[in-house]
Amino acid sequence: AAGPTEPADASVRGAFPQPDTPQGGREPLHGAPGPGGQAVPSLNPTTGQISTGALRTTSRADIINRAKLWVAAQVPYSMEKYWSDGYRQDCSGYISMAWNLRSNEWTGSLDRFADRIDRTELQPGDILLFHNPANPTRGSHVTIFGGWSDYTHTSYVAYEQTRPRTRKQQTPLAYWANSDRYVAYRYKAVAGAGSGSAGGPAAAATPYPGAAMFGPGADNAHVTRLGRLLVDRGGKKYYSRGPGPKWGEADRRATQAFQLAQGWKGREADGLPGPDTWELLVTGKGRSIGGSSGSSGSSANATAFPGRGSFRPGQSNAYVEKLGKQLVKRGFGKHYLSGPGPRWTEADRRNVEAFQRAQGWRGAAADGYPGPETWRRLFR
């Protein structure tokens, strides 16, 4: 698949590493037995989901380990050549290999093997896919999500097949360009997978792990997950450094602040997350710390940062409109053709990016998605 055209100037290329990755079509593994020899690649649109029972089950660790094999081997990019494992050496062939598919797929067919999820649900082994139907062989790309770079969830470790060879590097979410057009998917046959929807995190995919996972002495991944959710809902000020797996006073205070924001009192706001606290956090509902709200409603008069989840594709709330009006007031509204309004659009992202760049920020710090510091500077 292909990313946008790379700038000609070498200094710009270094700061804007985009792939030039044309792709092949759907075809059998190279060297695989079959009637009539090697099939001609198909670039016809592919419809119809593949049932989970027809797929090879794999684990997240296996997906990442297979992805690392090509990184270690420095597999050269090619849409016409095949590596020793039979997979085509382009971006979609790389995903086909990592997911252990029985064929070489392309960006127009990979979604048949996966469930669409929200970006907030991304876990190692999932993919971020941009398929451009207007120019599919030279306008599309796909990466493997290898994990968040830090607790802000604004960048991630990407495994990708691009020129000149397979690479692993920190990448802004979702990509250097066309970021809003990338869609998150999860392989259907990954062990322990839970499906989500494009509208937001699915509570069923992240059930409450139990009270024993939280509190003094707790040290596990659920504590880290809780902390990150709380940071996204306005709890960053309670952490002197990023949330981690060991339960601390910062976790208790941030949890209590979130509970108090719901209007809970007494034992319901003791700083220890129960099923109700967990459900509100993983679904993005309820009121955020500082008086703002999640997807269930909003207060137009709130000035505290409402959380990153309020400003993502598909979101519609009063905070998006409030942000847009403030951008216009500060002179950063040139990308609005109408509005601003409550639904998050590419115009919002581009105006936010312009404001961030005016602060001297670059890279992931100027991705067009407002964080607490962007919000603070915009409304000060």
Domains of the chain, first to last: 10-187 (3.90.1720.10), 206-290 (1.10.101), 302-380 (1.10.101.10)
Conformational region of residue 37, where left means phi above 0, alpha means psi within -120 to 50, and beta covers everything else: left
CB atoms within 10 A of CB 46: 16
pLDDT digit string (tens) for the chain, length 380 residues: 433 333 333 333 344 445 555 566 556 665 543 333 333 344 444 445 676 677 889 999 999 999 999 999 999 999 889 999 999 999 999 999 999 999 999 888 899 999 888 888 888 999 999 988 777 766 789 999 999 887 678 889 999 999 999 999 999 998 988 888 899 999 998 876 543 333 333 333 468 888 889 999 999 889 999 998 998 888 989 998 878 899 999 999 999 999 998 888 888 889 999 888 888 888 777 788 875 544 433 333 346 778 888 898 888 888 999 999 999 988 898 999 888 999 999 999 999 999 988 888 888 788 999 987 888 888 87
Residue 364 — φ and ψ, nearest 5°? -65, -25
Closest CA to 96 of 39, 23, 34: 23
pLDDT, residue 345, reads: 93
Q: Rounded distance, CA 371 to CA 369, Å?
A: 7
pLDDT digits (tens, 9 = 90+) for 40-64: 344 444 445 676 677 889 999 999 9
pLDDT tens-digit map of 133-153: 777 766 789 999 999 887 678
**b/e string for 294-303 if b means 16 or more Cβ within 10 A?**
bbeebbeebe
pLDDT, residue 363, reads 81
The Cα–Cα gap between 110 and 131 comes to 10
User: Does the predicted model carry a pTM greater than 0.75?
Assistant: no
* DSSP track, 330-360: TT--TT-SS---SB--HHHHHHHHHHHHHTT
Q: Which residues pair with 144 in a beta bridge?
A: 127, 159
Alpha helical stretches, state H, the chain? 10-15, 60-73, 91-98, 221-230, 249-261, 275-283, 318-329, 346-358, 372-379
**CB-CB contact of 168 with 157 (8 Å):** yes
